[in-house]
C-alpha cells in the first residue's frame, strides 16, 4: 500500500509538472516525509530538487540551496548527468539572484555550458549564453553581454522558440536601457510583449516594470505609473515577494515625484512590510554555512558508527578510517580554497576573457562563411553566363561569317564586305559582353543577400543602424517577385533616412510557405497615420501600388515620437 502511494505521487509529478505540483508547503511536507521511508535514490534526489525549486519561488534561498546540493550529489553518484546539469543551472540561477553574496556562481554555469556544447543541445546553449550575458551586465562589459544575447537570440530564432525570443528581447531592452538609450530599449520591450502569451504572468510583470523604469529614467513619471499599475494588476507565479518589492519601491518613488504623497506613503508602507518578510542577509549567511555544517554533521555521524562497530569487523574499521581520511582531505581542500580566494577571482576574470574571445571568433567565422558562400555562388553564375555567350552565340556568329565569306566570291564584293564588317562588330560585341560579365563581382545574389548588402551600405554611410533577421528564406523566390520585394524594402529604407530621423531600424523577413511576412521597424519620430492620404510625398503610395499588384496587404503602426512599424504580407 505504501509503495502504491509513492507511485501515485511520482506519477502526479510527471503528469502535472514541477511548477504545478510544488505549489505550497503542504506538498513540501509530503515530499520530506518520504525521506523517512525506503524510496529509490533517484526519487529521493527528485524530491530534493522539487523542494529546492519551491523554496526558491518562496524566496527562501538558504533552504533552496541546501536541497539543490543534496539532489546534485545523488544525481552525480547515480550518473544521471542530464538531471545533474539541470540542477547545476538551478543553483547558478539561485546564487546569481542573491545580492552581496561572496560565493561566485560561475563554476556551475561553466559546467552546464560545456555539457551543452558537447551534446549540441540548442536549448541549453541558449540558456547558457543568456546567463553569461547576465554576468556581464556592467558598464565596462555591456558590449560582451549584447554579443551573448544576440548569439542566444539567433539560436532561438533558428529553433522557432518564440518564448525564448521574447525573454531575450526583454534582456536586450534592459541592456539598452542601462547603457545605450531608452527609445532603443522600448523597441525591444515592445517586441517581447508581442511574443509573450497570456499565461506568462511573470514575463508580463517584469516587462511592465522595465518599461516603467525606462520612462522613470527620463523623468516621465506619469507614463511610468501607467505601466506600474499594469504590473500591480498581475500576480507573479515565481519570486513574488522580490518582484513586488521592486514594484512597491518604484510606485512610491513615482508618486512622490508627482507630489501625490498619500499614495507614495501607501506603497512605502507596503515595501517596508515586505522587507521585514524577506531577510536576504540571513539567508546568505545560512548558504555560506551549509557546507561546513553538513561536513560537521557527517563527521559526527561517521565517528559514532565507527565506535559502535569497531568490535564487529576489522574490515569495516578500515573502510571507516578511509572515509574519515576522505573527510579530512575535504576539510583541508576547503581551507586551501578559502585561502586562495583572490587567485580564484583572477582565474575567473581570465575565463571571462577566454569566453569573450570565443564569442568574437564565432561571430567572425559566421561572417567569413557567409561571404565565402556568396562569392562561390557568384563565381559559378558568372562562369555559366560567360560560357553560354562565348561557346554558343560566339560559335554561331563565327559559322555565319564563314558562310558569307564562301558566298563572297559569287556575289557583289562591296555588299558582302559591309555585311562582313557588321558581323565582325556583332561578334566583337558578344565577346565584350562575355568578358564584362566574366569580370563582374555581383551575380544574382538573391533577395536576402541583396537586402543585407543594402543594410550594411546604408549603415556605414548614414546615422541609421540597420539590422536584418530572417526565417525560412533558405530557398530562392521567383526572380521578378524578389526584385519587386527588394524595391519595396529599398523605398521604405529611403523614407526612414529622409523623414524618420531614426538611429536604429530592424528588417524582419519570415517565409510561411504560402506567404512572406515583412516587418520594418524604426525608432524615429513617427507620424500621424491619419494624414497618409493627404501626404503621398513620402513614397507610400508607390509602395501600396506594388503590394496591391502582388495581391498583398500592408499595415502601418505609428505615433508621434514612438517610432514606426510597417507590416507587409505577400502571398508566394
Annotate 458-502 with three-state secondary structure.
Answer: HHHHCCCEEEEEEECCCCCCCHHHHHHHHHHHHHHHHHHHHHHCC
The lowest-confidence range among 198-212, 273-287, 501-515, 531-545 is: 273-287
Q: Residue 398 contacts by C-beta under 8 Å, 6 or more apart in sequence?
A: 427
Residue 171 pLDDT greater than 70, yes or no: yes
Range from 38-42, 235-239, 247-251, 306-310 that averages highest in pLDDT: 247-251
Q: How far apart are CA 83 and CA 222, in angstroms?
A: 47
Name the one residue in this structure whose C-alpha cell is 537570440.
153
Topology of the domain covering 1-120: 1.25.40
Contact 238, 212 (CB under 8 A): no
What average pLDDT does the chain have? 77
Question: Which pLDDT score is estimated for 408?
Answer: 62
Residue 439 pLDDT greater than 80, yes or no: no
Q: How far apart are CA 33 and CA 31, in angstroms?
A: 5
Give the model confidence (pLDDT) of 20-55 as tens digits: 444 455 667 777 777 767 788 888 889 889 988 888
Contact 437, 386 (CB under 8 A): yes
Question: Which pLDDT score is estimated for 468?
Answer: 95
Q: How far apart are CA 287 and CA 304, in angstroms?
A: 27
Considering only the C-alpha atoms of the chain, give the largest distance between any 2 of them, rounded to a whole number of Å.
Answer: 131
Work out the percent of the chain whose per-residue pLDDT is above 90: 24
Question: Which pLDDT score is estimated for 341?
Answer: 81
pTM (2 d.p.):
0.41
Q: How far is CA 461 from CA 267, 358, 450, 466, 468, in A?
A: 50, 30, 17, 11, 17
Extract the C-alpha cell encoding 95.
546564487
Q: Note the residue count of the chain.
A: 572
Task: Tell me the mean pLDDT in the region 424-432.
Answer: 68
Q: How far apart are CA 41 and CA 71, in angstroms?
A: 10
* Burial of residue 133 (number of CB atoms within 10 Å: 0-12, 13-18, 19+): buried
Run of H or E including 235: none
Pick the closest to residue 511 from 542, 477, 463 (CA basis). 477
Residue 1 pLDDT greater than 70, yes or no: no
Give the model confidence (pLDDT) of 290-344 as tens digits: 544 444 444 445 445 555 555 566 667 677 787 788 888 887 887 888 777 878 8
Q: How far apart are CA 166 and CA 189, in angstroms?
A: 9
447-571: which CATH number, 3.30.1490.20, 3.30.565.10, 3.10.270.10, 3.10.150.10? 3.30.565.10
Residue 542 pLDDT greater than 60, yes or no: yes
Question: Which pLDDT score is estimated for 521?
Answer: 94
pLDDT band per the 50, 70, 90 thresholds, residue 194: confident
Question: Which pLDDT score is estimated for 253?
Answer: 94
Q: Residue 316, Cβ neighbours under 10 Å: how many?
A: 13
Extract the C-alpha cell encoding 7.
507511485
Question: Which pLDDT score is estimated for 410?
Answer: 60
Q: Please indicate whether residue 20 or residue 476 has the higher confidence score (pLDDT).
A: 476
Q: How far apart are CA 106 and CA 112, in angstroms?
A: 10
H helices within 120-232, ranges in order?
Answer: 122-135, 142-158, 162-179, 182-195, 201-217, 221-232
The lowest-confidence range among 72-76, 162-166, 400-404, 508-512 is: 400-404
Range from 181-185, 441-445, 467-471 that averages highest in pLDDT: 467-471
The conformation of residue 310, written as its DSSP 8-state character, comes to: T
Amino acid at each position: 500500500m505504501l509503495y502504491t502511494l509513492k507511485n501515485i505521487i511520482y506519477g502526479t509529478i510527471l503528469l502535472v509538472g514541477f511548477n504545478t505540483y510544488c505549489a505550497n508547503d503542504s506538498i513540501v511536507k509530503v515530499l520530506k516525509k518520504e525521506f523517512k521511508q525506503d524510496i529509490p535514490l533517484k526519487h529521493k534526489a527528485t524530491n530534493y530538487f522539487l523542494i529546492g525549486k519551491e523554496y526558491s519561488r518562496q524566496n527562501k534561498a538558504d533552504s533552496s540551496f541546501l536541497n539543490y546540493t543534496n539532489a546534485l550529489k545523488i544525481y552525480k553518484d547515480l550518473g544521471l548527468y542530464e538531471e545533474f546539469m539541470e540542477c547545476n543551472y538551478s543553483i547558478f540561477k539561485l546564487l546569481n539572484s542573491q545580492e552581496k553574496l561572496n560565493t561566485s556562481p560561475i563554476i556551475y554555469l561553466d559546467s552546464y555550458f560545456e555539457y551543452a556544447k558537447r551534446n549540441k543541445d540548442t536549448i541549453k546553449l541558449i540558456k547558457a549564453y543568456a546567463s553569461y550575458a547576465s554576468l556581464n551586465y556592467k558598464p565596462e562589459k555591456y558590449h560582451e553581454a549584447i554579443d551573448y544575447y544576440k548569439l542566444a537570440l539567433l539560436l532561438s530564432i533558428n529553433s522557432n522558440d518564440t518564448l525564448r525570443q521574447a525573454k531575450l528581447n526583454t534582456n536586450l531592452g534592459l541592456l539598452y536601457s542601462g547603457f545605450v538609450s531608452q527609445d532603443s530599449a522600448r523597441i525591444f520591450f515592445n517586441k517581447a510583449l508581442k511574443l509573450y502569451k497570456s499565461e506568462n504572468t511573470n514575463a508580463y510583470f517584469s516587462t511592465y516594470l522595465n518599461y516603467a523604469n525606462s520612462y522613470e529614467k527620463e523623468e516621465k513619471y506619469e507614463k511610468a505609473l501607467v505601466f506600474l499599475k499594469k504590473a500591480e494588476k498581475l500576480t507573479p507565479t515565481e519570486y513574488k515577494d522580490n518582484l513586488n518589492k521592486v514594484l512597491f519601491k518604484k510606485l512610491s518613488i513615482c508618486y512622490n515625484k508627482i507630489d501625490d504623497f498619500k499614495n507614495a506613503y501607501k506603497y512605502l508602507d507596503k515595501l517596508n512590510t515586505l522587507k521585514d518578510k524577506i531577510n536576504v542577509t540571513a539567508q546568505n549567511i545560512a548558504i555560506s554555512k551549509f557546507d561546513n555544517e553538513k561536513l560537521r554533521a557527517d563527521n559526527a555521524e561517521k565517528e559514532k558508527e565507527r565506535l559502535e562497530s569497531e568490535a564487529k569487523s576489522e574490515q569495516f574499521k578500515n573502510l571507516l578510517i578511509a572515509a574519515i581520511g576522505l573527510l579530512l582531505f575535504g576539510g583541508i581542500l576547503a581551507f586551501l580554497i578559502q585561502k586562495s580566494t583572490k587567485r580564484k577571482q583572477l582565474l575567473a576574470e581570465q575565463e571571462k576573457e577566454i569566453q569573450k574571445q570565443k564569442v568574437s571568433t564565432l561571430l567572425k567565422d559566421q561572417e567569413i562563411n557567409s561571404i565565402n558562400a556568396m562569392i562561390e555562388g557568384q563565381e559559378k553564375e558568372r562562369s555559366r553566363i560567360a560560357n553560354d555567350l562565348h561557346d554558343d552565340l560566339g560559335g554561331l556568329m563565327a559559322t555565319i561569317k564563314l558562310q558569307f565569306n564562301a558566298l563572297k566570291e559569287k556575289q557583289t564584293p562591296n555588299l558582302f564586305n559591309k555585311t562582313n564588317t557588321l558581323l565582325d562588330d556583332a561578334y566583337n560585341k558578344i565577346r565584350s559582353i562575355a568578358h564584362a560579365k566574366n569580370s563582374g563581382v555581383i551575380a544574382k545574389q538573391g533577395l536576402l543577400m541583396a537586402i543585407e548588402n543594402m543594410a550594411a551600405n546604408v549603415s556605414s554611410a548614414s546615422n541609421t543602424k540597420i539590422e536584418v533577421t530572417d526565417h525560412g528564406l533558405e530557398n530562392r523566390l521567383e526572380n521578378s517577385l524578389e526584385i519587386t520585394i527588394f524595391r519595396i524594402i529599398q523605398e521604405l529604407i529611403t523614407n526612414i533616412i529622409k523623414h524618420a530621423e531614426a538611429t536604429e531600424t530592424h528588417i524582419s523577413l519570415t517565409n510561411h510557405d504560402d506567404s512572406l511576412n515583412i516587418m520594418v521597424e524604426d525608432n524615429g519620430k513617427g507620424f500621424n497615420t491619419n494624414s497618409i492620404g493627404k501626404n503621398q510625398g513620402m513614397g507610400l503610395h508607390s509602395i501600396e501600388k506594388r503590394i496591391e499588384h502582388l495581391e498583398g496587404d500592408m499595415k502601418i503602426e505609428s505615433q508621434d515620437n514612438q517610432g514606426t512599424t510597417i507590416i507587409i504580407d505577400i502571398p508566394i
